[in-house]
Amino acid sequence: MITVTHLTKRYGDTNAVNDVSFTVKPGTVAGFLGPNGAGKSTTLRAILGLTPPTSGGATVLGVPYAQLPNPASRVGSLLDADALHPGRSGRENLALAALAQGVGRTRIAEVLDLVGLTDKEARKRVGTYSLGMKQRLGIAMALLGDPSVLILDEPANGLDPAGIVWMRDLLRNAASRGCTVLLSSHLLHEVEQVADQLIIIGAGRILADGSPADVLGSTGRLEDTYLRLTATTSREGLAS
């Protein structure tokens, strides 16, 4: 389970995230939606203990991320596929992560197969990878410890349509095994296809949180709902 409670992060006079609260339960894929600058990445980084909040906080599996024993094996995350070591091969990147997590080397072949990277591709340096291949390797890193929570920031970037369908199936299978999945994206249509829960954020504030049916309401279209909510937020901001 992921629980975010009154999370606020200020940079000077700017509220990157403003009193954000939501919960994602086990067995759920939650789509975390908003445009660039809405506060998605800041929220995910705060959940993972990488960005200290100004106030409020977050717990994963009932405790702050930093208090989890061997947290990388409990919580799989992908925030930036370019953070992988470009001079090492995909397999070497995974081997180092497996060593740090205490994961057996046989798991490396399993996750490479899960994400569709061949042995030949895994032996190439990451610096030669396309963005889509980096995303697949990043997801493999997130899955390495067979975690019960997945936190993924824009994992569909660089994937072709077949890759997006593959990722959708991967996340649904993870949720069916009881995994808690928080998926950040601006690809509204694709998130609608996979999510049990939609959390829409704009200007650092939660605009909507609920099942797709509840969030969509009478419009029946996620794009229309999002535009309506963001327009309302913009008017409120101008009025204040």
Do 168 and 49 lie in one domain? The reply is yes
How many Cβ atoms are within 10 Å of 5's Cβ, its own excluded?
A: 14
- Decide if pLDDT at 170 tops 70: yes
Compute the chain's Rg from CA coordinates: 18
Measured at the alpha carbon of residue 121, what is the angle toward residues 119 and 127, in degrees to the nearest 5? 140
Of 29, 45, 67, the C-alpha closest to 170 is: 29
On whether both 161 and 122 belong to a single domain, the answer is: no
Q: Do residue 54 and residue 100 come from a single domain?
A: no
Q: Tabulate helix, strand, coil % of the chain (nearest 5).
A: 45, 25, 30
Threshold 0.85, pTM exceeds: yes
Domain of 40 in residue numbering reads as: 1-61+148-227
Where is the domain boundary, 77, 112, 145? Answer: 145
Let me know if residue 71 belongs to a domain: no
145, 160, 183 - which closes a domain: 145
The answer as to whether 70 is a domain residue is: no
What CATH number corresponds to the domain at position 193? 3.40.50.300
68 belongs to a structural domain: no
**Whether pLDDT at 218 is above 90:** no
Q: Is position 232 within any domain? A: no
Q: What is the pLDDT of residues 124-144, one digit of tens each?
A: 999 999 999 999 999 999 999
The verdict on 57 and 158 lying in the same domain is yes
Mean pLDDT, the chain, whole residue set:
89
Q: Which residues contact 104 (CB under 8 A, 6 or more apart)?
A: 98
β-partners of residue 20 are 7
Instruction: For residues 188-193, give the mean pLDDT.
Output: 80
Check if the beta carbon of residue 187 is closer than 8 Å to that of residue 156. Answer: yes
Averaged pLDDT, 74-100: 93
- The answer on pLDDT for 10 being more than 90 is yes
Position 222 pLDDT exceeds 70? no
The answer to whether residue 77 is domain-embedded is: no
Q: Which residues contact 39 (CB under 8 A, 6 or more apart)?
A: 9, 16, 17, 18, 20, 201, 203, 204, 205
Residue 73 has pLDDT above 60, yes or no: yes
pLDDT for 123 beyond 90: yes
* pLDDT (mean) for 160-186: 92
Same domain membership, residue 209 and residue 170? yes
pLDDT over 70 percentage in the chain: 90
Name the β-bridge partners of 198: 31, 210
Mean pLDDT for the stretch of residues 143-152 = 96
Domain end (from 93, 125, 145): 145
Same domain, 38 and 137: no
